[in-house]
A and B are shown apart, each in its own frame.
Chain A
Amino acid sequence: MRIKNVNDLKLIADQYNAELKKYEHTIYVCGGGGCISSKCQDTKNFVDSYIKEQGLSDKVNVIFTGCMGTCAMGPVVLVEPERIYYVHVTPERAKDIIDRQIIGGEVIEEYTFFDANLNKHIPCIDDIPFFAEQVQIVLNKCGKIPFDSIEAYIAKGGFTAVAKAFGMTQQQIIDEVTASGLRGRGGAGFPTGIKWSAGMKAQGDRKCIVCNADEGDPGAFMDRSAIEGDPFCLIEGMMIGGFAIGANNGYVYCRAEYPVAVERFNKALDIAREWGMLGENILGSGFNFDIELRIGAGAFVCGEETALMNSIQGERGEPRQKPPFPFESGLFGCPTIINNVETYYNIAEIINRGADWFAQYGVGKSKGTKVFALAGDVINTGIVEVPMGMSLRKLIFEIGGGITDGMKFKAAQMGGPSGGCITEKNLDTSVDYESLTALGAIMGSGGLIVMGENTCMVDTARFFMQFIQDESCGKCTPCRIGTKRMLEILERITQGKGTLEDLDTLEELSYTIKDTAMCGLGQTAPNPVLSTLANFRDEYEAHIVGKTCPAHICSALAKYYIDPEKCKGCTLCARNCPVQCISGKVKEPHVIDQNKCIKCGACMTNCKFGAVIKK
């Protein structure tokens, strides 16, 4: 059917909701990226066929959704109306759940979410701290509706915001967005209303609105989850933006590493066109709008807005000199507004519920919520959305469940290769743009990597610099050559060949690159080094002066020992040592000659008794 006006939307919503009421139970199977890797498709297929086999098709509704949040526990399943949250649901477990809960009325506690802090299973999703502490605006439909149904989207209030926006003037929409305090979620936090205002005022026969779905920060997967779970919401957000600034063309630039997001978004575009929610005279407003999806090709710098536009144009993804700014001359030379995925996901709710409602969440100049991708050494890895102003401690230890393997917390990296780390002493910092910047970190786009005590901070700095070296486009000298020099120094230090003067050189290079690089990639590249130097100078010194790596990560500085208590004298290590520096008689403890050892680690991999230790 083609949706012609607001009445049609209401009709579809009523019909769909009435349809849902027919069922006694609903089984939501997560079809998000994490759960796909855990073979959720098998679970979904099984549930579908088993429900049919049991003759339950008119009593039980099975829905395949986007990410529900706890991605490491996949496949996850939610059963309504009881709202029982099951994890690691293999087809075998799914059979039990259907037999025992759906048919038998019993909750299978041992299959439900296990809370590591409370050391017990928590069956009902509403009682689980991981979910209970969240406020979901961006993700309010992700994981709760079938990602490929426009009717389900409409039934949850979808497209009512754009309908409302069509009844407002461009200025009124922009005023609402400005008043909400929404700031760009792509990293820099630029106020969205101000950007849109510039876009509206810009003169041009044709204007473009672009969505940055490049999500280049390695370790971040928020945008991917939003698009895969609720693609229509991105269409609606961009359409409102397009109407507000007067753009009829939308482009989404998505990285090639996200084939599932590409497939689902393309499908959503087709469906929206078919139903008349993209194309001409949308909802009878007289406004024409369409969106095209363009796929990146593996270049981090293409997340930078001007490089991204070059890439959409089919060119090398090198950044452009600014000015002119995109709102003056952007994509194909037209005035262009570009925003991050998550920024657009806030728009519909702001229009529907108003700026004041939105601004009740957050602190100071940081309004609303922020989605984070929790990863690294944290127990509950996954996707969470919290109000700005929450403390990092609460985010990592209550929602995230703390550090894995009983390790001590060492640092949290925010903002990826452009960001910095937060240490134990600053864990009570409020998560907002200003507080994080004051600590030398940044909000970033939402990647939050938690590091336990077995992470070496010098090696982490080297890791990010290596990443920058690989990804620098090479257009300007400070970034191309400066970061190479920095990488060489960091490599030297991790090999125990650094000097204390190297630390001064690192700082000097950092400031020069920050001041002189052409685009944001180079300008922010030194941040991880500066931030680790400020917080972990003792670790750098341990590598340089003490020739040790306190976290035992840097292999060149490791020392291998054989524990005489554990060694069985099997000789395997000695036979595999490439420099024959292990001696000992059969069935007697062996010894490593530290002067000859080249730290290859072969002895450690070969010993079947765990007798070789690395210190």
Chain B
Amino acid sequence: MSEVAKNPSVAKEEMRADYEKLANVIDLYSGKEGCLIQVLHAAQEIFGYLPFEVQKYVADNMGFSVSYVSSVSSFYSFFSTTPRTKHDVKVCLGTACYVRGGKLLIEKLQEILGIGVGEATADNVFSIHVTRCVGACGLAPVVVVDDDVYKQVKPGDIAGILDQYRGK
């Protein structure tokens, strides 16, 4: 990210490659019915989030209006229109994790990072999110950082978990 910010020409190059990737995905799905959500998944995978320009690109190339694409993407909590932070900290508040103390983990996270749920730290390194069950309920309560699942987490473990991602 910082690389891109320093040198816009790199950004353009990078974006061009990303759009090419997206074009390939749209191609791949072209023969199949009702693939908008699958394409949006791929787009979010490529760009990290779904900014207006990306949604417009999808709309134009799949024969939808932008407003339609955005009406679909905004329905689903998985799609985000804001850039991701470097690391995504998700605390599960599904029933099993809630019963086993997930709420205390959120409180501890907020205290350590000084931000609320859905917010990002000023340096854009961490953001806190709530998820509703990642299917690891047997290991409740669960915290997911990026793709790593931490099991049976206690409030005292949070600082140590975060430290593993600082500077990464």
User: Please, what's the 1-or-0 string for B96-114, where 1 marks a CB less than 8 Å from any CB in chain A?
Assistant: 1111100000000000000
Q: CB distance A298 to B76 under 8 Å?
A: yes
CA distance A311 to B142 in the complex (A): 28
CA distance A311 to B140 in the complex (A): 29
With a cutoff of 8 Å between Cβ atoms, the chain B residues found around residue A313 in the complex are 33-34
CA distance A312 to B35 in the complex (A): 8
Residues of chain A at the chain B interface (Cβ within 8 Å): 33-34, 36-38, 71-72, 215, 217-221, 224, 256-259, 292, 294-300, 311-318, 332, 373-377, 381-383, 413, 416, 447, 449, 451, 455, 460, 463-464, 467, 470, 473
B59 at the interface (CB under 8 A from A): no
Q: CB distance A297 to B41 under 8 Å?
A: yes
CA distance A34 to B40 in the complex (A): 29
Question: Shortest distance in angstroms between A330's beta carbon and chain B's nearest beta carbon?
Answer: 13
Selected contact of A37 from candidates B79, B95, B149, CB within 8 Å:
B149
Q: CB distance B41 to A332 under 8 Å?
A: no
Q: Which of A34, A219, A315, A332 has the most CB of B within 10 A?
A: A219
Q: CB distance B34 to A221 under 8 Å?
A: no
User: Could you say which of B1-9, B126-134, B157-165 contacts chain A?
Assistant: B126-134
CA distance A221 to B149 in the complex (A): 15
Question: Shortest distance in angstroms between A258's beta carbon and chain B's nearest beta carbon?
Answer: 6
CA distance A36 to B139 in the complex (A): 11
B118 at the interface (CB under 8 A from A): no
Question: Quick one: given A219-B94, A377-B100, A463-B98, are A382 and B138 in contact (CB under 8 Å)?
Answer: yes
With a cutoff of 8 Å between Cβ atoms, the chain A residues found around residue B79 in the complex are 297
Main secondary structure of the interface of A (DSSP, over half): mixed
Which B124-158 residues have a C-beta within 8 angstroms of A? 131-140, 142, 147, 149-152
Q: CB distance B138 to A218 under 8 Å?
A: no
With a cutoff of 8 Å between Cβ atoms, the chain A residues found around residue B61 in the complex are none
Q: Which of B35, B36, B139, B147 has the most CB of A within 10 A?
A: B139
Question: Shortest distance in angstroms between A429's beta carbon and chain B's nearest beta carbon?
Answer: 20
B37 at the interface (CB under 8 A from A): yes
With a cutoff of 8 Å between Cβ atoms, the chain B residues found around residue A470 in the complex are 132
CA distance A33 to B140 in the complex (A): 13
Which B35-75 residues have a C-beta within 8 angstroms of A? 35-38, 40-41, 71-72, 75
Q: CB distance B137 to A219 under 8 Å?
A: yes
Q: CB distance B138 to A416 under 8 Å?
A: no
Return the 4 tightest CB-CB contacts between A and B, nearest first.
Answer: A218-B94, A297-B76, A71-B138, A314-B36
Q: CB distance B32 to A381 under 8 Å?
A: no
Other A-B pairs beyond A72-B139, A298-B77, A376-B95, 7, CB < 8 Å: A37-B150, A72-B138, A220-B135, A294-B37, A295-B41, A332-B33, A373-B138
Question: Shortest distance in angstroms between B107's beta carbon and chain A's nearest beta carbon?
Answer: 8
Q: CB distance B135 to A451 under 8 Å?
A: no
Q: CB distance A256 to B151 under 8 Å?
A: no
A-B contacts, 20 listed (Cβ < 8 Å): A37-B139, A38-B151, A218-B95, A218-B132, A219-B137, A221-B133, A256-B78, A257-B135, A294-B37, A296-B37, A296-B76, A296-B78, A299-B75, A299-B76, A299-B77, A314-B33, A375-B99, A376-B100, A447-B95, A463-B95
With a cutoff of 8 Å between Cβ atoms, the chain B residues found around residue A375 in the complex are 95-96, 99, 137-138, 140
Question: Quick one: given A295-B38, A297-B37, A297-B78, are A33 and B136 in contact (CB under 8 Å)?
Answer: yes
Question: Shortest distance in angstroms between A602's beta carbon and chain B's nearest beta carbon?
Answer: 9
Q: CB distance B139 to A34 under 8 Å?
A: yes
CA distance A467 to B147 in the complex (A): 24
Selected contact of A257 from candidates B32, B38, B134, B152, CB within 8 Å:
B134
With a cutoff of 8 Å between Cβ atoms, the chain B residues found around residue A259 in the complex are 147
CA distance A275 to B101 in the complex (A): 47
With a cutoff of 8 Å between Cβ atoms, the chain A residues found around residue B41 in the complex are 256, 295, 297
With a cutoff of 8 Å between Cβ atoms, the chain A residues found around residue B147 in the complex are 259
Q: CB distance B99 to A451 under 8 Å?
A: yes
With a cutoff of 8 Å between Cβ atoms, the chain B residues found around residue A71 in the complex are 136, 138-139
Question: Shortest distance in angstroms between B140's beta carbon and chain A's nearest beta carbon?
Answer: 6
Question: Shortest distance in angstroms between B75's beta carbon and chain A's nearest beta carbon?
Answer: 4
Q: Residue of A at shortest CB range from B32?
A: A292
CA distance A470 to B135 in the complex (A): 19
Q: CB distance A298 to B99 under 8 Å?
A: no
CA distance A71 to B142 in the complex (A): 13
With a cutoff of 8 Å between Cβ atoms, the chain A residues found around residue B36 in the complex are 314-315
CA distance A383 to B138 in the complex (A): 8
Selected contact of B96 from candidates A296, A376, A473, CB within 8 Å:
A376
With a cutoff of 8 Å between Cβ atoms, the chain A residues found around residue B138 in the complex are 34, 71-72, 221, 373-375, 381-383
With a cutoff of 8 Å between Cβ atoms, the chain A residues found around residue B99 in the complex are 375-377, 449, 451, 455, 460
